[in-house]
Structure 1
Amino acid sequence: MAPTHVLVTGGSGFLGRAIVKALLDRHADWTITVLDLHVPPKDVLDRVSSFIQADITSPSSVNDAFLHIRPDLVMHCAGIVPARRHRYSTNQKQWHKVKTINYEGTKNVLNATLASGCRKFVYTSSCTVVIDDLAHDYFNMNEKTPLGYATLHYGKSKGMAEQYVLSSEHAEKGLEACALRPCTIIGPGDIAVISLIHDLIAKGETYFIIGDGDNLYDFMYIDNAVDAHILAIENMLTTATAAGQAFFISNQEPVYFWDFFAYIWAQFGHVPRFRVRIPMAVAWVAGVAAEVITYFTGAAPTVDRGSVWDAVRTHYSDNSRAREILGYEPKIGLAEGVRRSCEVGIVR
């Protein structure tokens, strides 16, 4: 009997390569293929069965990649996460780029998966399918929370892709698919969260709190996100009780947003001598002013209206479905996760 063959798209990225390493460690007898536009690091490339270089935004590139393989399951992790100045962008050119990779790319991968005869698919979605609606707080959101309100590029594109993957049309074709919605992930080598928060030290911006400072946020350590993905893969290859469903995953310990920042700064020996609370209205006006200044100067913005709104919101998720169906439980606490993430230093 041939060994189980899992193809991981985006296996060169932050989360993707961690999933690949975990699969190699936990299932040494499996065949693991990485599909990515970029060559994975040597510690991944030397261990996987094969690497296929392909551009998921190109249907022909993806179809060619699947010509000579028939995986038992496709783990689709490839995508783009707009960071820093692009996180709250309203630029239509940027939206086209994000949509092309996250939505059209997912369609291309899923269509090639079905054409290859594979009927098992795990998709890395995101909690932003809900929370990229900046107009509302989301307390203890779960999978019954409606989609379709996200306005930011990332959450909007991921929501479109998730709905495509989990559509009844594909289920009728025999596809068994599930989607994972991780919250903001931190970990060693993270360039999207820890480094951005660390930058505030040099900018002298650690003394300010926007709003009343009592808003809760979800973060999670990468090992826990990886565990959830492995559990989903194992479920889909056995009982497939996860098929047709989406799952919120987090560290299951929402924290005060501004306290989380302070804890990260403390790992680098920085403790603000004082904290000043800035009313939301004042911060919003500052955000507008900063947008105008950066529009004319071309400099990277420190603050804008989107980041101000995000800094005062509450959003955290209920992981009950992931616990019940996948058996997911976070193994690394958030405080320990921050310590591990920071001890390797800042990666740019």
Structure 2
Amino acid sequence: MFETCFIPRHVLVAGGCGFIGSNLVRYIVREHPDVAVTVLDKLTYAGNPENLSGIPGENLRLVVGDICDAELVGRLVAEADAVVNCAAETHNDNSINDPTPFLDSNVRGTFTLIDACRLRGVRYHHVSTDEVYGELTLDDPHRFNEDDPYRPSSPYSSTKAASDLLVRAWARTYGLKATISGCSNNYGPYQHVEKFIPRQITSLIDGERPKLYGDGRNVRDWIHVDDHSSAVWGILTLGRLGETYLVGAGSERNNLSVLREILSAFGRAEDDFDWVRDRPGHDRRYAIDASKLIRELGWKPVHVDFSAGLFDTIEWYRSNEGWWRVAKRETEARYAAMGF
């Protein structure tokens, strides 16, 4: 672990009303209550101000606005000494249906943030994804590492790859004080019901049969969102400038096994679901080698028991039906309209 440590006094979290962003805000306020946090969020369908409910408000402020608004972003960046960009369009199905919002938020939005940080000398951290590396085969022993080439498969992952490259270019050409993290699939509370795990959970709460893409053998490397938050904070405060760190908990599971574990928690038979056609370009397997993060920064995941974390997540959705009910109705209508 490095001897020097950067502790920000005021962090601007872009996309702080989304799933990963709001959990990061909760982590910062809980673990570092003296740090002021400003959330900038456009409040699209996936940005919910209720995600910040219950957080002590003394050092927390929400600003509703677009990360593509250069004047607003410049004003907020000038007030902060660190920016964490969690703002992104992230759902693959939506990117296939209409890539335009992904180009706006993920590429143009990132440019607006990093240029504001460049002009004002503010520390910047970019939250990215393992999907920029494309896919691994099911029988490949390799796990993604920071030196792997980018091979994005979807409109979503290609725009995230583009945003990563912008950050790297601004760091090299302009001296932007930046780091990047690429994380595996997150799960936990406050995740929008369009995503795989909460969609299955909420369907079962409603007594419906869940749906599974393709043959169900697609493998994801799951990490609890709290562990992701601790990794982001560690990289922001201890990471080497200009570096990328991959974040994963080493919990590879295929979609079929995850669904069957959820079905079991509801007392349903393991085949009590419907197969649906696969989405175009569906990556087969993701896997993360987090050894650089562990070795250099001393980070390690706390939620290493996936089954326990999944059970807690199920209980959270059971106990917070009011949070997801409207979004569930809108999501299922959107899926039906797209033919998924």
TM-score, normalised on structure 2? 0.78
User: In 2, are the aligned partners of 1:206 and 1:272 still within 8 Å (CA)?
Assistant: no
Deviation at 1:332, TM superposition (A): 0.5
- Give the direction of change, closer, same or farther, for the CA distance of 1:145–1:345 in structure 2 (3 Å limit): same
The corresponding residue for 1:320 is 291
Correspondence for 1:156 among 155, 158, 167: 158
The corresponding residue for 1:252 is 250
- Give the direction of change, closer, same or farther, for the CA distance of 1:315–1:46 in structure 2 (3 Å limit): same
SS in 1 for 2:38: strand
The separation in 2 between residues aligned to 1:125 and 1:273, in whole angstroms, is 34
The corresponding residue for 1:217 is 220
The corresponding residue for 1:128 is 131
User: In 2, are the aligned partners of 1:180 and 1:249 still within 8 Å (CA)?
Assistant: yes
The corresponding residue for 2:300 is 329
The corresponding residue for 1:33 is 38
The corresponding residue for 2:61 is 50
User: In 2, are the aligned partners of 1:7 and 1:75 still within 8 Å (CA)?
Assistant: yes
User: Runs of 5+ in structure 2 lacking a partner?
Assistant: 1-6, 44-48, 319-323, 329-340
The corresponding residue for 2:112 is 108
User: In 2, are the aligned partners of 1:207 and 1:273 still within 8 Å (CA)?
Assistant: no
SS in 1 for 2:129: coil
Instruction: Output the amino acid matched with 2:30.
Output: D
The separation in 1 between residues aligned to 2:33 and 2:213, in whole angstroms, is 49
Deviations 1:29-52 (A, max 9, x none): 222222222356332472434333
The corresponding residue for 2:46 is none
The separation in 1 between residues aligned to 2:99 and 2:136, in whole angstroms, is 17
Instruction: Output the amino acid matched with 2:130.
Output: C
The separation in 1 between residues aligned to 2:146 and 2:8, in whole angstroms, is 34
SS in 1 for 2:66: coil
User: In 1, are the aligned partners of 2:231 and 2:247 still within 8 Å (CA)?
Assistant: yes
Deviation at 1:344, TM superposition (A): 1.7
Correspondence for 2:266 among 247, 265, 268: 268
Correspondence for 1:18 among 14, 20, 23: 23
Instruction: Output the amino acid matched with 1:233.
Output: L
The corresponding residue for 2:85 is 76
SS in 1 for 2:186: strand
Instruction: Output the amino acid matched with 1:340.
Output: D
Deviation at 1:57, TM superposition (A): 2.2
Greater shift after overlay, 189-198 or 326-335? Answer: 189-198
Pairwise mapping of residues 186-201 of structure 1 onto structure 2 (< 5 A)?
Answer: 186-190=187-191, 191=193, 192-198=195-201
Question: What RMSD in Å do the two structures reach over aligned CA positions?
Answer: 3.0
- Give the direction of change, closer, same or farther, for the CA distance of 1:303–1:86 in structure 2 (3 Å limit): farther
Matched, 1:185 2:186: yes
The separation in 2 between residues aligned to 1:172 and 1:206, in whole angstroms, is 47
Greater shift after overlay, 136-145 or 104-113? Answer: 136-145
The corresponding residue for 2:277 is 303
SS in 1 for 2:287: strand
- Give the direction of change, closer, same or farther, for the CA distance of 1:206–1:266 in structure 2 (3 Å limit): farther
Deviations 1:192-244 (A, max 9, x none): 12232346766646799727x4x642111111111111111221xxxx42x21
The separation in 2 between residues aligned to 1:114 and 1:329, in whole angstroms, is 31
Deviation at 1:340, TM superposition (A): 1.1
The separation in 2 between residues aligned to 1:195 and 1:155, in whole angstroms, is 21
TM-score, normalised on structure 1? 0.77
User: In 2, are the aligned partners of 1:52 and 1:65 still within 8 Å (CA)?
Assistant: no
Instruction: Output the amino acid matched with 1:266.
Output: S
Instruction: Output the amino acid matched with 1:75.
Output: V
% same residue: 22
The separation in 2 between residues aligned to 1:137 and 1:199, in whole angstroms, is 32
The separation in 1 between residues aligned to 2:81 and 2:273, in whole angstroms, is 54
The separation in 1 between residues aligned to 2:107 and 2:139, in whole angstroms, is 25
Deviation at 1:104, TM superposition (A): 0.6
The corresponding residue for 2:121 is 117
Deviations 1:286-323 (A, max 9, x none): xxxxxxxxxxxxxxxx434427x44xx23211111111
User: Runs of 5+ in structure 1 lacking a partner?
Assistant: 277-282, 284-301
Matched, 1:96 2:100: yes
Matched, 1:4 2:9: yes
The separation in 2 between residues aligned to 1:223 and 1:57, in whole angstroms, is 28
- Give the direction of change, closer, same or farther, for the CA distance of 1:79–1:5 in structure 2 (3 Å limit): same
Deviation at 1:3, TM superposition (A): 7.2
